[in-house]
């Protein structure tokens, strides 16, 4: 198990593997973040499809299918989370906007990457980044592999991370 803590006044922030009781808070964070930063660019049908596929039941299904999630906790509150599918695809990375710009996304990425390597992953990753998230992934070393795409009414940017 990969678990890290780091200090951020007034609480210590902990990053650990997701536990089932974390899912409702993660689903609420995803919905709030996606509504503000992602689906506003999409047609109504695309936005509704994305939010429906990524609600609490959808996230439970992703966990059951083997996606690996890590959560960042500020005390008992979920401040962010990341999930990786097939040891190679960043599927979710959502940070509460109160924590934007403070390095939490990078800490979650580093935790997920280390856990993937520990499970035998190659270290290469893909992600379908929202327009809002492209600069964050670029700061991690991801590069665009194609122009912006639209699938099921949701816009995204295919990106790849190749270990140096």
Give per-residue pLDDT as tens, 97-156: 999 999 999 999 999 999 999 999 999 999 999 999 999 999 999 999 999 999 999 999
CA–CA dist 160, 164 (Å, integer): 12
Model pLDDT, residue 10: 31
Phi and psi at 67, nearest 5°, equal -65, 145
According to DSSP, residue 20 is labeled: G
pLDDT band of residue 94 (cuts 50, 70, 90) is very high
Residue 55 backbone zone (phi > 0: left; psi -120 to 50: alpha; other: beta): beta
3 state DSSP class of 121:
coil
Domain boundaries, the chain: 4-123
CATH architecture of 4-123: 3-Layer(aba) Sandwich (3.40)
Could you tell me if 27 and 59 are in contact, meaning their C-beta atoms sit under 8 angstroms apart?
Answer: yes
The distance from CA 124 to its chain's CA centroid, rounded to whole angstroms, is 16
What confidence tens digit (pLDDT) does each residue in 1-60 have?
A: 444 444 443 346 899 999 999 999 999 999 999 999 999 999 999 999 999 999 999 999
Could you tell me if 69 and 37 are in contact, meaning their C-beta atoms sit under 8 angstroms apart?
Answer: no
Model pLDDT, residue 12: 67
Beta strand extents in 96-144 (DSSP E only): 125-129, 143-144
pLDDT over 90 percentage in the chain = 91
Model pLDDT, residue 47: 92
pTM for this predicted structure: 0.91
Tokens of 6: 């780091």
Model pLDDT, residue 13: 86
């Amino acid at each position: 198990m990969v678990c890290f803590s780091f200090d951020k006044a007034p609480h210590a922030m902990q990053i650990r593997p997701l536990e089932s009781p974390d899912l409702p808070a993660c689903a609420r964070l995803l919905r709030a973040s996606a509504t503000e930063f992602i689906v506003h660019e999409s047609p109504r049908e695309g936005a509704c499809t994305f939010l429906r596929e990524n609600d609490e039941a959808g996230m439970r299904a992703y966990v059951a299918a083997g996606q690996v999630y890590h959560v960042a906790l500020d005390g008992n509150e979920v401040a962010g989370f990341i999930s990786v599918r097939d040891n190679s695809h960043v599927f979710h990375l959502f940070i509460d906007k109160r924590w934007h710009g403070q390095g939490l996304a990078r800490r979650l990425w580093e935790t997920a990457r280390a856990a993937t390597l520990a499970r035998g992953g190659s270290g290469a990753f893909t992600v379908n980044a929202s327009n809002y998230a492209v600069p964050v992934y670029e700061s991690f070393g991801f590069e665009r592999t194609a122009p912006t795409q639209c699938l099921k009414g949701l816009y995204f940017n295919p990106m790849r991370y190749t270990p140096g």
